[in-house]
Structure 1
């Protein structure tokens, strides 16, 4: 929806120029009118449709399970998942079998496809599906009865290794888990430094760390207790560090909306929270940006308390790996006898699909049929709030400074330098000053979480808290930060 100022600008522009352009469509006034429209629209702070009116619970589903996945939930979820996996594979095998039989004899058409279902072969495949669903349903019922019989106080959450497995499954097919009401579908939860769901009063400054695809809140913890969260605590003892855990397989915009509500609840329950800093790795940075967008759109109070946003290797303009996967799937779908295999690509989560172009708004997918996103040139911009100090970190596997297109495309192995730093043409440029961008050489995508060099830079930014630039020009004219491995002689 447009702000009142936006309506006034557009109304005045049309009122002064439209009449002449209609009377003389080929006149200079007509051409000038079109140019002025785009110039005025570019000056508006926010241009967006009211996506809250379009979103429904069905489009952005939420999980309705306990805060932590228990062992009973884990085994029940695996039983259901295994059953659905067999059914999906059966569908693919049947589709290939059907095509191999019908296409060579020229009978691959709607009439024979419908007739296939009532034939002997079609009935056999149908029986396999029915039996597997029946077995899976009975197994799930056994686990549900087991959970109901034991004392709820003795329910144990899954261990660290199983927790990582649960998060991987959520990343790969998290939206499917939610749609099937699978008990291992993760809710969005804030954890404290001890690995327990946050529960208690906090005040002052809060740092929220958001993990990436297929990871968990445990991913920030290192074996020697030197994770980023602990580094922040050592430099700012009065700061409360919270770790976000969420289903990375859901739409990024859905997770963004949920995070916005979680942070609003946090500030409502803790009115003495003075500042919120968001640090996101990979997809976590996109979820944080989405939360900022929807929090501002809905006029929520928590937005006013956000001081800093730091993203580590976040694909703000998309990840090459997902684009390659989509291309391969599209090619396979066009091949005779093999297009049924393209269904395997549909099993990947909607969250992964959103990484194709870095889509963080509902409008990028809600109007489409199936599980896809708008092409890159048609996705909707999501500008950063002006009062938030934004810092962007990129990494490259190259250990030396080589200013070439190949270096940028290589990036950290998953995300290019340009995408991580928000560099883009037109309205999708994030407009972050060069002095607030950093490139780390000799690091891969996952190394960004554990690198001491990265930790040192993030801590320095959070300590500075935007004080070093008095008017914005210092950052704009500043130099991009370049960090090299300590044990490598770099030739620039």
Structure 2
């Protein structure tokens, strides 16, 4: 086990604290509370990160050891998902029904709610749930048994169209699929350019492309306009491109841990790999950052080979759309007769919830009850490794340079410019030199993966590989890169 390391910030300290003992009301703490706290802090030598991350981390589900989803897995998983979906909807309908009946009578309280399940209406809803669970489990078990007795040679890969559907399902409810051991839960796999899991021996330089929410390793090749992986191979012929596929509905920090382990296995099996570059789109950039954070804490050797990190439209400071969704959910939960509708918001995946503030560490969620994250001001910083050259790319729908708050907030339609460039007034700022930041005008969030201008800039950075930098001096002096469409149809 790597040697434990002391915490870097006060956030790490509070992440390791335990629930305080019961307070005796007869004791007066007003006079000496503050002094006691500072005395205890002064006597505390180290707080270790392994204490913080040892508990409540989802390591029980080994996604990386599973084979890619087959056609038989798809039908089995959809059968199970359909049954569970009926049960979830039944729960929501029952909650609304219960509230409508009890609230007007003034009986919407703990006593009457506890007796609800024993009543006629409660038993009817319970019967529906029981029947659907039984039917779904039996159908899924039957399909699994049929799949097991078939000849392994008959195993069929999922068609591309169904794979897209499975990736969307994982983005929306991927953590639920994991918790239910549903075959539709996507394992973390590195694919080669041939579309098959990487198995061949590798050497030299390796570039890993990490997709975003609800997408897959195939998404990098989905457009006829541009193919970043192919362009990298064409311009850097001695470089191997690998495509990461993962469950985007799981916690970003859990995916980051798994990616760190996956890259360590890759290096262990291919010791001739000389350099690793990480390129992430949207959530993929956060997963890459998380893997760097945990790779450093775990003391993994693959970290020493990382040369460049590039993120495309990644919400390093959070995504506005998720914050708006959470705000609406909280307001709905406070409305009479509509509070039960807030349960619908709980169906969205933990990965989506992590996008609220760009949370990439376990400590941002593991101490909370329910499926949430710490508020923005209390999330834990995750600094970038000093030896890794980091490049940040942002897109904006505006086609002409126009300095305004509206332009910045609009961003690429999903992520603001400040968030994509990791800019923040406090300790969460990524502190990347201006010369390593680029804003592409007239490019939306999805097209950051396919834009020729974005691809050209990435290739330039990869070819340069820090050769003309020497030190940070040039990047600190250089200004931010601004790229505009060749033909401006609309200039604001």
Question: With structure 2 as the length reference, what TM-score do the two structures score?
Answer: 0.89
Pairing 1:316–2:319 present? no
CA deviations 1:31-74 (Å, max 9, x no partner) are xxx9xx9xxxxxxxx99733664245646743377321011100
Structure 1 residues 88 and 214, CA gap change in structure 2 (3 angstroms): same
Tell me if the contact between 2:171 and 2:349 (Cα under 8 Å) persists in the aligned partners.
yes
Shift of 1:111: 1.6
Residues 173-182 or 145-154, more deviating: 145-154
Shift of 1:149: 2.1
Pairing 1:377–2:377 present? yes
**CA–CA distance in structure 2, aligned partners of residues 268 and 57 of structure 1:** 24
**CA–CA distance in structure 1, aligned partners of residues 52 and 342 of structure 2:** 33
Q: Which residue of 2 aligns with 1:17?
A: none
Shift of 1:466: 1.1
Tell me if the contact between 2:279 and 2:310 (Cα under 8 Å) persists in the aligned partners.
yes
Q: Which residue of 1 aligns with 2:337?
A: 337
**CA–CA distance in structure 1, aligned partners of residues 73 and 384 of structure 2:** 39
Q: Which residue of 1 aligns with 2:216?
A: 216
Following superposition of structure 1 onto structure 2, how do residues 67-216 of structure 1 map, counting pairs within 5 Å?
67-216=67-216
Structure 1 residues 459 and 317, CA gap change in structure 2 (3 angstroms): same
**CA–CA distance in structure 2, aligned partners of residues 189 and 476 of structure 1:** 37
Tell me if the contact between 1:70 and 1:158 (Cα under 8 Å) persists in the aligned partners.
yes
**CA–CA distance in structure 1, aligned partners of residues 56 and 221 of structure 2:** 36
**Structure 2 SS opposite 1:435:** helix
CA deviations 1:92-122 (Å, max 9, x no partner) are 1111111111110111112211221111111
Shift of 1:225: 8.2
Aligned residues, how many?
A: 459
**CA–CA distance in structure 1, aligned partners of residues 491 and 244 of structure 2:** 40
In structure 2, list runs of 5 or more residues that go unmatched: 14-30
**CA–CA distance in structure 2, aligned partners of residues 267 and 219 of structure 1:** 25
Tell me if the contact between 1:51 and 1:363 (Cα under 8 Å) persists in the aligned partners.
no
CA deviations 1:426-480 (Å, max 9, x no partner) are 1111010000000000111001011111100001001110112122011011110
Q: Which residue of 2 aligns with 1:430?
A: 430
Tell me if the contact between 2:226 and 2:451 (Cα under 8 Å) persists in the aligned partners.
no
Structure 1 residues 437 and 53, CA gap change in structure 2 (3 angstroms): closer
**CA–CA distance in structure 2, aligned partners of residues 132 and 65 of structure 1:** 31
**CA–CA distance in structure 1, aligned partners of residues 369 and 8 of structure 2:** 34
Pairing 1:232–2:232 present? yes
Shift of 1:224: 3.7
Larger relative contact order, structure 1 or 2 (CA cutoff 8 Å, min sep 6): 2
Tell me if the contact between 1:65 and 1:183 (Cα under 8 Å) persists in the aligned partners.
no
Q: CA RMSD in A?
A: 2.3
Pairing 1:476–2:457 present? no
CA deviations 1:68-95 (Å, max 9, x no partner) are 1011100110011111111011011111
Tell me if the contact between 1:277 and 1:306 (Cα under 8 Å) persists in the aligned partners.
yes
Following superposition of structure 1 onto structure 2, how do residues 326-405 of structure 1 map, counting pairs within 5 Å?
326-405=326-405
Tell me if the contact between 1:55 and 1:362 (Cα under 8 Å) persists in the aligned partners.
no
**Structure 1 SS opposite 2:63:** coil
Tell me if the contact between 1:62 and 1:178 (Cα under 8 Å) persists in the aligned partners.
no
CA deviations 1:371-418 (Å, max 9, x no partner) are 100000110000000110100000000011011111110000000000
In structure 1, list runs of 5 or more residues that go unmatched: 11-24, 38-45
**Structure 2 SS opposite 1:207:** strand
Structure 1 residues 228 and 47, CA gap change in structure 2 (3 angstroms): farther
Q: Which residue of 2 aligns with 1:464?
A: 464
Structure 1 residues 128 and 239, CA gap change in structure 2 (3 angstroms): same
Structure 1 residues 395 and 258, CA gap change in structure 2 (3 angstroms): same
Structure 1 residues 64 and 463, CA gap change in structure 2 (3 angstroms): closer
**Structure 2 SS opposite 1:190:** strand
**Structure 1 SS opposite 2:393:** strand
Residues 203-212 or 142-151, more deviating: 142-151
**Structure 2 SS opposite 1:428:** coil
Shift of 1:128: 0.6
Question: With structure 1 as the length reference, what TM-score do the two structures score?
Answer: 0.89
**Structure 2 SS opposite 1:440:** strand
Q: Which residue of 2 aligns with 1:290?
A: 290
Task: Extract structure 1 runs of 4+ deviating beyond 6 A.
Answer: 489-492
Shift of 1:148: 1.3
**CA–CA distance in structure 2, aligned partners of residues 206 and 86 of structure 1:** 45
